[in-house]
Amino acid sequence: MEQLWIKGERRLQGDAFINGAKNAAVAVIPAAILANDICIIENLPYIDDVISLSEAMNELGVKTEFLDRHTLRIDSRNINNFQAVYESVKKIRASYYLLGALLGRYKQAEVAFPGGCNFGVRPIDQHIKGFEALGAEVIVEHGMIRAKADRLIGTSIYLDVVSVGATINLMLAAVLAEGTTILENAAKEPHVVDTANFLNSMGANIKGAGTDVIRIIGVEKLHGSTYMIIPDQIEAGTLMIAGAITQGDVKVCNIIPKHMESVTAKLQEMGAEVIEGDDFIRVRSTGRLNSIHLKTLPYPGFPTDMQPQMSALLSVAKGTSIITESVWENRFQYMSELKRLGAQVKVEGRVAVVEGVERLSAAEVSALDLRAGAAMVVAALAAQGESKITNVQYIDRGYEELEVKLRSLGADIRRVQVSSEKKVPRQRILEPVLEKKII
């Protein structure tokens, strides 16, 4: 088992280069199934979710191959299996995209109920409602979701909740359907737009992605494409907050500043200095920041995936902050861990009241899920003494070498193997492929 050991109170300073977006990657990779051709996806983050998903694709008969650490070649010409079993998808929430992609291309799919982070009930009723509206029959039994259709026919679908997953999944299912599909009340997240752009690069006809009405005119077939995915707004936001909480000076590079607007606005409201360039944002702070009130919302609102990291920052702000989580019903579980680091927090349903303290103090804390884990890292960077973060595998799901990036900014952080149970180093998974390429 691995842990992250962090000696806090080091001021972070310097440039951090942001990898491709996890949530775009996990949609774009299955989307390549629709091509019946070869796709090359560039700027992928080398994280466990991407590796697990490409392995799950291989089980379907897709051939995935890392050409280098961040580039995946996906050959979807020989798919021979439409079933993704629990064993291969249990770790990835976004495995439900295999459903939309397989259904779209083969009119049949069978995928185990997804795993991923646990912060309350994570229904997929809107995905199912949309598949059915397109003409599929969907049955959920024995932990599997089975979808089948003779034909998929475009139609108008109104999503009852703004759902990133349902919006993307229905785009995947509709691109090869007959006629026009209109998705209303669609999610507007950058990774929704990125997935639409990728599909269009393969010959799809999708308009309106990034607004709440998306129009998909079905085409007969798609072709292969080389596509570079967008930078990760959540990784960027996490490192911006790491800079702010250590009263440092951190420049996150290789990003799209527009995607960061809600985070930038909140940091400014707290009193941090934020300098924006074409493809970077620099965050400087020289003292304790001020408390704020915060509510998570679908894009362009403040992202729920930044809520835990922001709570860590607010736990050392001057004054009382009120945080309202409006996307997930149970996303404050990690507060128990934050309290172990000395934060003063009261949670009542979807609202957390954070009384800022002058200083956090190191403790052993658990990464309860991916972003909760990131929040523990951020908090530990500011805490007095050495913190130990367990369950690092959650952090590895979504951050590529977070500790390496933080170390290069001046953090005292190391990954420590704490028992004889050894994890296969992630680089090794790549070696055979790289060797093959060199030969």
Q: CB 318 → ligand UD1: shortest distance, Å?
A: 29
Catalytic site residues?
A: 117
Beta strands at 71-75 and 38-42: parallel, antiparallel or unpaired? antiparallel
Q: CB 163 → ligand UD1: shortest distance, Å?
A: 3
Angle at 325 between CA 321 and CA 326, to 5 degrees: 135
Q: CB 187 → ligand UD1: shortest distance, Å?
A: 6
Q: CB 188 → ligand UD1: shortest distance, Å?
A: 11
Nearer to ligand UD1, 229 or 362 (CB): 229
Bridge partners, 94 (sequence order): none
Q: How far apart are CA 40 and CA 377, in angstroms?
A: 33
Q: CB 347 → ligand UD1: shortest distance, Å?
A: 18
Nearer to ligand UD1, 125 or 431 (CB): 125
CA–CA distances in Å: residue 37 to residues 28, 33, 64, 224, 308: 14, 8, 12, 5, 40
Q: Output the six-digit token pair for 247.
A: 């009263």
Closest listed residue to residue 315, CA positions, set 352, 278, 285? 352
- 26 and 92 Cβ atoms separated by less than 8 Å: yes
Nearer to ligand UD1, 23 or 64 (CB): 23
CA–CA distances in Å: residue 402 to residues 45, 267, 300: 11, 21, 25
Nearer to ligand UD1, 186 or 378 (CB): 186
Residue 203 sits at φ, ψ, to 5 deg, of 110, 5
Nearer to ligand UD1, 26 or 111 (CB): 26
Residues in the site for ligand UD1, rule: CB under 6 A? 23, 26, 93-94, 122-127, 161, 163-166, 187, 304-305, 327-328
Nearer to ligand UD1, 241 or 411 (CB): 241
* Placement of tokens 């310097």 in the chain: 14
Nearer to ligand UD1, 163 or 181 (CB): 163
Measured at CB, which residue is nearest to ligand UD1?
165
Q: CB 333 → ligand UD1: shortest distance, Å?
A: 14
**CA torsion angle for 112, 115, 121, 126 (degrees, to 10)?**
-50
